[in-house]
Structure 1
Amino acid sequence: MNIDIRDADAIRTLRPLEVATYLRSTGWTQQSTSLNASTWIRNVDKAEYEAVVPLDQAMRDYSLRMGDLLHTVAAAEGRSQTEVYADFLTTFADVVRIRIDDPGLKDGTLPIEANAQIAQKSRDLLLAAACSATEFRPVWHTRKPVQAVEQVRRIRIGQSERGSYIVTVISRVSPALHVPENGQLFEPEPPFGRRVIQTLASSLDTLNKAADSAALTGEFESFEQSVSKGVSANLCDAVAGLWGEDESQRKLEFTFSWSPARPIDSSTPSHVKFAADRIPLIREASRVMREHEPVGDFELEGAVVKLDRQPDQSTGIVTIIGQVDGRPRRVKLELGDPQYHIAVQAHDQERAIRCVGSLVREGRGFSLTEPREIAVEDE
């Protein structure tokens, strides 16, 4: 259904240079330009369309002129004005649509608690991709790269769309500027915001294929190899979290619309769809990744519950109960003098001890290797 947009305030939000960039990137040719307007033409099926971009938003008739342009572009492209309007608004943005297809969500609404979980898991998904855009790791623990965290803060969530339940993620990206070939030695690297969304697309596609392979072979190897393409336990957890608990009926789709202002390689995925039978494999992959990956620079804090050192030994084993993945766990560490005496002091005074090291899972327990910065907490 074609709907004309008549809201002057809505039309006024369109920015002239973004609209001009959209036209340039989608097959329109600039015919002329002046101080107040830029004229573009496009031939479609032997018909010529002319679109005039008003360049000054302070003009009294700016909304009227931009409305005329919107009507012309929609007619030339054979689309609705609402679709063209949405594309104008996101000319300088990559857009990710997360579609959760579930019989219980056909009306586009969902329970408030489910909404909170979807919002959190969408953020976790983007943060996992942002971390992988800085470095490939099987697991990202508490400390995340500052660049990744700050990029996620810049990402916006648009209005939800009809079609089961659709989350619209908008990531602004700067436009590409052409540099003459003799003016550069290497292909310039895209901005970090684009790399994050590109990493998200490729890692989701890789995760989907890894789950297929694991289902056929019964081996973890495909997930292990996928780490070098951006897959992490954090990504697995986010995808499984978006899925929720009803694995039999829900479907999950990711669609990527890339900013026309910054062209992207055609090999980059634009659509990834997860079927129900992948999710148990993805959950298990996350568990295995976390079990086998040491946690570097892990901050352990808790009570000393056991001391074990023989008279003829220079080191002793200290057991501390501290928080690991949000749960109290017994963690062992081997200490020599004078660190062991600090642990004895904390035990005798019933005070917590704090230290840093690499957390390693050993069987059903944990140990902290290379412990350092050992200190008794103040009362």
Structure 2
Amino acid sequence: MTSTIRNSAVLRAVRPQDVAVYLQARRWREQERREGEYAIWQRTADDEPVEILLPLNTAYRDYAARIAGVLQTLEAVEQRSHLDILADIQTVGCDTIHVSAEGEALAGGAISLHGGTLFIAGVQNLMLAAACSAVQPRPVFDDPVPEAAMAYVQQVRISMGRGSFMVSIKAPVDLEATQTHIGKRKASFARRTTLILMQSLSVVRDALDRSTSGDTIETLLEVAPGGISANLCDALVDLYRGSQADQIRFSVTWSPLRRVPHDAVSDVTIPAGVVPLLQEASRILRETTPREGFVLQGFVVDLEPESDHRQGRAIIAGLIDGDLHKVECNLAGTHYLRARRAFDRRQVIRCTGDLVQSGERYILRNPRNVTLLDEES
């Protein structure tokens, strides 16, 4: 145990309530408390009583020295370094998800700048996909992102780990927690997100094992509504593209502030062989899941009228995810007449519907709100 923290600013930043939660989670017991001044915590180590004097007022001149004393006592009891103990105290109110890219090429803990950018983007998209599923599970998530999911990814923090190329995502499970109550029963949104993420990753691993035994991708698609989305599949693929890892390990250090379900998944390792399965699952999910309320804007490039010339099929060239595609839609009545006018006059048309993909074809079902841009101005 040679690591010693001497930076007073670091020690002063340690919150008494975080230390208290940490102590309680490790079976220390508060024996005495003078509110706003100090608390005395005790436990037994090697059949001997051990005591910690925890300052409760960060304004004390010797607060940093007192916290250093707390860390020194914990170091002796736990046989761990100051740095590791302090890191656990600072994240005691967070579920910490460790994402570790493992492989011979990553033994030094470094990857290319481009690869690192892809990896971090993959981590962000992975957490966003899990947060969206915590709001409402769907096979595909499109804009707009649910407010709760966006707030979540703005709250979580990321840091670099040691050893192989690893990042740690710290998700606060109770932003309002200032007391030392641990094991709360009601799951916070952040905790639900972590649970869904780890369960989804476990399902992916199980689907890979089954596919190598002769089962098809249907194994994964059958459980997609429970949290597997095309977005999650794409994010996982980006992790492998960025890191070129042989496998990626996901593990969680659960915050003691919230009770962990007995069936929670805490550790999953997924080999690189899963990538083709993920790519195929993403493709199928996107092709078979309507994008409800999709706004299509573009030019009518072809019309196929029915015999009465008041309804027919329109082909509209417009942008989908930044790329130009031709989209088929069946229109009738005034909607078809507007499409006819847009085709004759080369005007921009806009309509809303449910976008589906079938192979290379895009179809806009249930078209509505058909307007021409010059009619809106």
TM-score grouping bracket, smaller chain normalisation: over 0.9
Q: Counterpart of 1:182?
A: none
What is the correspondence of 1:1-379 to structure 2 with a 5 Å cutoff?
Answer: 2-35=2-35, 36-158=37-159, 160-174=160-174, 175=177, 189-244=186-241, 250-378=246-374
> For the Cα contact (< 8 Å) 1:212–1:278, is it kept in 2?
no
Q: How far 1:296 sits from its partner (Å)?
A: 1.0
SS in 1 for 2:223: helix
> For the Cα contact (< 8 Å) 2:21–2:180, is it kept in 1?
no
Q: How far 1:192 sits from its partner (Å)?
A: 0.9
Number of matched residues?
Answer: 370
User: What is the distance in 2 between the residues matched to 1:48 and 1:297?
Assistant: 65
Listed one character per residue, the Cα deviations across residues 266-302 of structure 1 (whole Å, up to 9, x for unaligned) are 3211111111222221221111111111111111111
Listed one character per residue, the Cα deviations across residues 203-222 of structure 1 (whole Å, up to 9, x for unaligned) are 11111112222232342221
User: What is the distance in 2 between the residues matched to 1:230 and 1:262?
Assistant: 22
- More divergent stretch after superposition (29-38 vs 62-71): 29-38
Q: How far 1:313 sits from its partner (Å)?
A: 4.9
> For the Cα contact (< 8 Å) 2:115–2:242, is it kept in 1?
no
> For the Cα contact (< 8 Å) 2:111–2:243, is it kept in 1?
no
Code of the aligned partner of 2:154: R
Q: How far 1:229 sits from its partner (Å)?
A: 2.9
> For the Cα contact (< 8 Å) 1:139–1:234, is it kept in 2?
yes
Code of the aligned partner of 1:153: Q
Listed one character per residue, the Cα deviations across residues 59-105 of structure 1 (whole Å, up to 9, x for unaligned) are 00000000000111121112111111001100111111111123333
Q: How far 1:230 sits from its partner (Å)?
A: 1.1
Runs of 5+ consecutive residues of structure 2 not aligned to the other structure? none
> For the Cα contact (< 8 Å) 2:230–2:281, is it kept in 1?
yes
> Against the structure 1 CA distance between its residues 188 and 47, is the aligned structure 2 distance closer, same or farther, given a 3 Å change threshold?
closer
Q: Any runs of at least 4 consecutive aligned residues in structure 1 with deviations exceeding 6 A, and if so which?
A: 176-179
- More divergent stretch after superposition (92-101 vs 319-328): 319-328
SS in 2 for 1:57: coil
> For the Cα contact (< 8 Å) 2:185–2:258, is it kept in 1?
no
SS in 2 for 1:244: helix
Runs of 5+ consecutive residues of structure 1 not aligned to the other structure? 180-186
Task: Please report the TM-score for the alignment, with normalisation by the length of structure 2.
Answer: 0.92
Q: How far 1:312 sits from its partner (Å)?
A: 2.6
SS in 1 for 2:170: strand
- Percent of residue pairs bearing the same amino acid type: 33
Task: Please report the TM-score for the alignment, with normalisation by the length of structure 1.
Answer: 0.92
> For the Cα contact (< 8 Å) 1:202–1:229, is it kept in 2?
no
- More divergent stretch after superposition (109-118 vs 15-24): 109-118
Listed one character per residue, the Cα deviations across residues 191-241 of structure 1 (whole Å, up to 9, x for unaligned) are 111111111111111111122222323422211222243111111111111
> For the Cα contact (< 8 Å) 1:207–1:226, is it kept in 2?
no
Listed one character per residue, the Cα deviations across residues 316-343 of structure 1 (whole Å, up to 9, x for unaligned) are 1100111223321111111112111211
SS in 2 for 1:162: coil
